Amino acid sequence: MDRKFMKRVWFGAAAVAALSLSALGAQAHAPHACIDDACKVQALFDSIDTPTAGGAAVSLDSPKYGTWGFDLSGMDRAVKPGDDFYKWANGTWDANTVIPSDRTRYGNFDKLSELSEARTRAIIEDAAAGKPATPEAVKIGAAYNAFMNEALAEKLDSKPIQPELDGIRKIKTKDELTALMGKANTTGYSSILGLYISTDAKSPQRYAVYASTGGLSLPDRDYYLDPKFADKKAKYLAYVEQMLTMAGWDKPAENAKAILAFETQLAEASWTRVERRDRDKTYNPATLAELQALTPGFDWNRYLVGTELPKIDRVVVTTNTAFPKFAKIYADTPLETLQAWEAFKVVDGAAPLLSKRFVDAGFEFRNKTLSGQPEQRPRWKRGVASVNGALGEAVGQVYVARYFPPESKAKMVALVGNIRDVLKVRLENLEWMGPDTKAQALDKLAKFTVKIGYPDKWRDYSKLTIKADDSYGNVMRAAAFEWRYDVERLNGPVDKSEWGMTPQTVNAYYNSVNNEIVFPAAILQAPFFHPDADPAVNYGGIGGVIGHEISHGFDDQGRKSDGDGVLREWWTAADAAKFKTQSDKLGTQYSAFEPLPGAKVNGQLTMGENIGDMGGLAFALDAYHASLHGKPAPVIDGFTGDQRVYMGWAQVWRQKTRDDALRQQVVTDPHSPAYFRVNGTIRNQEGWYKAFDVKPGDKLYVAPEDRVRIW
């Protein structure tokens, strides 16, 4: 799923969060697969920052861990490494860490996100103060000042969304409503069937228009259908009524019940997240006539008028078998209910940008009820996230100039080369893979593109209008700007230089259609990487991340694209079957993990990320060995080199998460919880058993014949 379409999908849930997606990338079932679950929109909305005592300034300096890159004080040495490696490496930190009250989780990714936020705040507030007076800085400052003008927001109250609500009230027929839904990419309106533009997975030198189902306002279909979430569903009903009441919509209680019934039907017809991960099943090209035949009663010709698209004759349908079901639900639902639903989506999406009563209502349900976040973030933090979303690369250009030294990029280039060399050797010596598949796998590896730090070409925001007294309008115009940017280049060549994350993002990703791995500047700091740290810790940190992203090119979905990014079958049937045997075994292992009672990890949903972790850590250890050039690794504070590689990996994944957020994660997120990204990964690594002398009887011990071996 393309990052710009994701903005529109999530806009109905939280406008500020959605707009912040340009700093993130897309989820793992899409062309982008990233290292941390903060690439999910809601994770950013809840977790990009941490409070500071008394409003004190956060240091803008890069962090350091211990004397050689690892925080020994965070360990719990009373725990055996073979019983619980995560707690052995991080137990004291875990016991002493309290999740800040305006967050749903806290860990090392979040600690760096806090640093990035503090740095971008300085950049944004400089711009808001008129320095420098460049066109980009003027827009940055205006966007921030507009968001921060709480007095104006109180004065306007719901006025910013009244034109859209009036537009819904004027609707007389379903065909008119279909036409209104066509404006979903440029307004606050929503659609149950949406279009987005992304690189064509089977012809990655061009763009394609994709069609997908949507319409749900809760985090996942399970929230409507699984009894475990009955309490959340009941509170959602009350929230819908509250929002309709605040918007002045007729019969709020009656309409809220009808909306919930409507969305529950959509949930029943929606594909599961596991199904939506399958890149073969979600690529279904169709003519407009075929698309129309798939959805009788939903007039695509009327819909397309509002999209501003040029004439198109081809659409790639993703969740194709759900389309007829959605069309029937649409046809059977009273127009009054659909109008009320559309009105709710407008006010729900706009809530973070309106007066305090809307902001508080949205927070109480979306952040507190759904994710367990006790307190709202300060307004300035929400403002920074909003500006980063609307003008991310304009902010990022300044961020790079201030905080990303050229030598960091050079060192990363060398590290990536080392990890890639390791995988090449592994592929060449892989016993289970036949020569035909192996030759193409090596070709794919050789064709990997690597992007480090920041884009070579920055985004041009000259066509984006930002006003210092129109926060809601700024968000709308920024979303429309992104959509029109894609529309304008629809029939042109794919821009391979484009980035899916801004430099100030603490994350990394693999993009299958470009066959590229991307590492923004902000992640290239401790605990992932520090120039003065022990190389073993750096290999366990950033080396594991590099290996993780390279592994995505060969995970259960990434492996389906060849070296040129083309979605096609390039594996022999025998090799594909061998791969599936091992990946299914890995899925079974992870599905047994239960972070909370009744909340189990979905091994099929998290498959790609788990394979990425498995490969990434194994490659990192090999690369560290290669870096020694035959010399013995030093022993530091009693720890061998191999031990320090694994300790570096464990340190990266220090993280605590609130229960509601964790329950949401295991249902919606393709990443396993951090605890299992340590313990679930190392128990399949031969090197870990040797490094820590793990024996039968240790709680994490897995018999050799049951360990998963892929790469």
Residue 305 lies in a domain: yes
Least confident residue range of 60-69, 206-215, 600-609: 60-69
Write out the residue range of the structural domain in which residue 280 sits. 159-353
Residues 321 and 451 in one domain: no
Q: Encode pLDDT of 91-133 as tens digits.
A: 999 999 999 999 999 999 999 999 999 999 999 999 999 988 8
Three-state secondary structure of 588-648: HHHHCCCCECCECCCCCCCHHHHHHHHHHHHHHHHHHHHHCCCCCCCCECCECHHHHHHHH
Strands 284-286, 315-317: pairing kind: antiparallel
Residues 286 and 219 in one domain: yes
Phi, psi at residue 634, to the nearest 5°?
-70, 155
Residue 308 lies in a domain: yes
Tell me, what CATH number does 341's domain have?
1.10.1380.10
Query: What percentage of the chain exceeds 70 in pLDDT?
Result: 93
Residue 91 lies in a domain: yes
What is the arithmetic mean of pLDDT over 479-486?
A: 98
Residues 655 and 584 in one domain: yes
Residue 389 lies in a domain: no
Residues 313 and 197 in one domain: yes
Confidence of residue 406 (pLDDT cuts 50, 70, 90): confident
For residue 85, the one-letter residue type is F
Confidence of residue 683 (pLDDT cuts 50, 70, 90): very high
- Rounded to 10 degrees, what is the CA torsion of 366, 372, 376, 378? -120
Q: Encode pLDDT of 261-285 as tens digits.
A: 999 999 999 999 999 999 999 999 9
For residue 550, the one-letter residue type is I
Pairwise pLDDT comparison (295 vs 14), residue with the higher score: 295
For residue 179, the one-letter residue type is A
Residues 109 and 164 in one domain: no
Shortest CA distance to 109 belongs to which of 677, 654, 660, 672?
654
Residue 694 CA to residue 83 CA, distance in Å, equals 9
* pLDDT value at residue 6: 31
Residues 166 and 115 in one domain: no
Residue 180 CB coordination number (10 Å): 24
Burial class of residue 496, CB neighbours in 10 A (0-12, 13-18, 19+): middle
Edge-first strand order for the sheet with 207-213 is 193-199, 207-213, 315-317, 284-286
Phi, psi at residue 636, to the nearest 5°?
-120, 125
Q: Encode pLDDT of 49-83 as tens digits.
A: 222 333 445 689 889 999 999 999 999 999 999 99
Residues 579 and 626 in one domain: yes
pLDDT at 388 over 70: yes
Q: Encode pLDDT of 287-297 as tens digits.
A: 999 999 999 99
* pLDDT value at residue 36: 81
Residues 84 and 188 in one domain: no
Residues 106 and 176 in one domain: no
Cα R_g (the chain), whole angstroms = 25
211 strand-pairing partners: 195, 317
Least confident residue range of 163-167, 402-406, 700-704: 402-406
Confidence of residue 42 (pLDDT cuts 50, 70, 90): very low
pLDDT at 29 over 80: no
* pLDDT value at residue 31: 52
What is the arithmetic mean of pLDDT over 149-176?
A: 98
Tell me, what CATH number does 23's domain have?
3.40.390.10
- CA distance from start to end of the chain: 27
Residue 387 lies in a domain: no
* pLDDT value at residue 39: 57
* pLDDT value at residue 10: 25
Least confident residue range of 46-60, 82-96, 184-198, 630-644: 46-60
Residues 6+ apart with CB under 8 A from 29: 1, 273, 276, 277, 278, 279, 282, 557, 670
Residues 116 and 164 in one domain: no
* pLDDT value at residue 57: 57
For residue 178, give the 3-state DSSP assignment: helix
* pLDDT value at residue 8: 30
Query: What percentage of the chain exceeds 90 in pLDDT?
Result: 89
Number of domains in the chain: 2
Residues 329 and 437 in one domain: no
pLDDT at 587 over 70: yes
Residue with the two structure tokens 């109905």: 12
Residue 92 lies in a domain: yes
pLDDT at 339 over 60: yes
Residues 450 and 544 in one domain: yes
Phi, psi at residue 694, to the nearest 5°?
-80, 130
Residue 490 CA to residue 312 CA, distance in Å, equals 10
Confidence of residue 217 (pLDDT cuts 50, 70, 90): very high
For residue 187, give the 3-state DSSP assignment: coil
User: Considering the entire predicted model, what is its pTM?
Assistant: 0.93
Strands 207-213, 315-317: pairing kind: parallel
Residue 201 lies in a domain: yes
Residue 371 lies in a domain: no
* pLDDT value at residue 33: 80
Cα torsion angle, 330, 334, 335, 340, sign: negative
Residues 6+ apart with CB under 8 A from 636: 68, 534, 644
Full DSSP string of 45-86: HHHS----GGGPPPP-SPP--TTTS--GGG--TTS-TTT-HH
Residue 588 CB coordination number (10 Å): 13
Cα angle for residues 106, 274, 7 (degrees, 5° grid):
60
CB contact burial 416-426 (16+ within 10 A = b; e otherwise)? bebbbebbeeb
